[in-house]
Amino acid sequence: MLLNSFRSPFSAIRLSLLLAAVTALFLLAGCDNEPQGPVLKIGYMNCNNEQETMQRFAPLTRYLSEQAGVRFEAVPVDTQDFEGRFKAGEFALTHTNSLLYIVLQHNADLRLVAADKRGHFGARSAGTLIARKDSGIKTLEDIRGKRLVFGPAMAPTGYLAQYDLMLNAGIDPETDLAYYAIPSGSFKHEKVLYGLYFGAFDVAAAPALDLELMAADGKINVDDFVVLAQSPVIPYCTFGSSADLDPAILAKVRKALLGLKPQDTVEIDGERVKVLQSAWVEGFEELLDSDYDIIRDMARRTNMPPYQTF
């Protein structure tokens, strides 16, 4: 019967057309995997510049879109603009440092999603105060009357932790140092290290993670400096979500972040790239909001947002 039907030229044409249509349908289904629906924005805290931020996080954003079945868009945001733009409802998700997370959580009901893992302490890092080994500065007490350089003012491990360290040791940075400065422009953490290395400052407030990364890159030598003091370890960069994000989407995003493996890739501009490597992250960890209490206590002691009083 079947063989007989093939003998008819019209049946053969019909069958060929049907096969072609089915093949085209499969091909189209394979190509068109872009999620449908409204675009949800992810605000990424700008570290050095917008171009770098987009390069880092475009692949991660694409990955989250694919995994959650939602159209996400990456938006670089300057630190000082974050709160206003988040309160205005611009972002469904945020990626910020941990101090900004507690500010947005306190002032705008941001919800915790997951924290970046990178370096020795996983989803945490620490602030250090360092001096050149040949400076003669050996202890924290020795920094009185010296020139100190901080990282950016809203940096948890480049400013907040070190300011708190000094206050805890009975050193008031406002009165007990010769002076302190905060570098301007991009790459502030690296400028801090180079400012110390080339003698513009006696003491530097360096994130432990940056010491680790710059030593790994051969930019600094471990034997050239001494760590005068180190803060407790505190949570690192953090993904948060707005309170009105659909819980089902939030669950998919969290699951996707926690499940990310070093070998996972996405296609960006015709090129297949590794998501974690592009984002400079080793993975993501699910912290508890109470893990951030240590930063809240630091912010209270140092009169920093969200607890700042005048």
Partner 1 sequence: MTLDRFDRFHGLLLLLVAGGLVLLLAVAESGGGRSAAGVDKAMEQALDYQARVAFVQKLYGPVEDLRRDGQLQQALLKLDELERRYPGEAHGYILRGEILGEMGVLAEAVASYVAALRLNGDYVDARSPLSRQTEIRQLVDDGLRILGGQARSHPENLSLAAAVKNVHYLQSRLAGGCE
Beta bridge partner(s), residue 227:
130
Q: How far is the CB of 286 from partner 1 (least distance, A)?
A: 4
Cα–Cα dist 308/302, whole Å: 8
Contact (CB, 8 A) for 82 and 266: no
CB of 74 or CB of 249, closer to partner 1: 249
Phi, psi for 128 (deg, rounded to 5) = -125, 155
CB of 63 or CB of 82, closer to partner 1: 63
Contact (CB, 8 A) for 177 and 148: yes
CB of 39 or CB of 258, closer to partner 1: 258
CB of 221 or CB of 303, closer to partner 1: 221
| Residues of the shown chain interacting with partner 1 in the complex, contacts defined by CB under 8 A | 120-124, 126, 128, 208, 211-212, 215-216, 222, 226-227, 230, 232-233, 258, 285-288
Closest residue by Cα to residue 183 from 159, 160, 208: 159
Q: How far is the CB of 158 from partner 1 (least distance, A)?
A: 15
Phi, psi for 111 (deg, rounded to 5) = -105, 145
Cα–Cα dist 216/236, whole Å: 19
Cα–Cα dist 73/62, whole Å: 8
Q: How far is the CB of 125 from partner 1 (least distance, A)?
A: 10
CB of 40 or CB of 233, closer to partner 1: 233
Closest residue by Cα to residue 105 from 82, 72, 75: 82
Listed in sequence order, the residues at least 6 apart from 173 whose beta carbon sits closer than 8 Å to its beta carbon are 148, 163, 166, 167, 180
Q: How far is the CB of 38 from partner 1 (least distance, A)?
A: 28
Q: How far is the CB of 276 from partner 1 (least distance, A)?
A: 16
Q: How far is the CB of 215 from partner 1 (least distance, A)?
A: 5
H or E stretch including 193? helix 188-197
CB of 124 or CB of 147, closer to partner 1: 124
CB of 211 or CB of 253, closer to partner 1: 211
CB of 122 or CB of 306, closer to partner 1: 122
Contact (CB, 8 A) for 266 and 278: no
Contact (CB, 8 A) for 190 and 214: yes
Q: How far is the CB of 12 from partner 1 (least distance, A)?
A: 55
Q: How far is the CB of 227 from partner 1 (least distance, A)?
A: 5
Quickly tell me which residue has 């475009």 as its tokens. Answer: 58
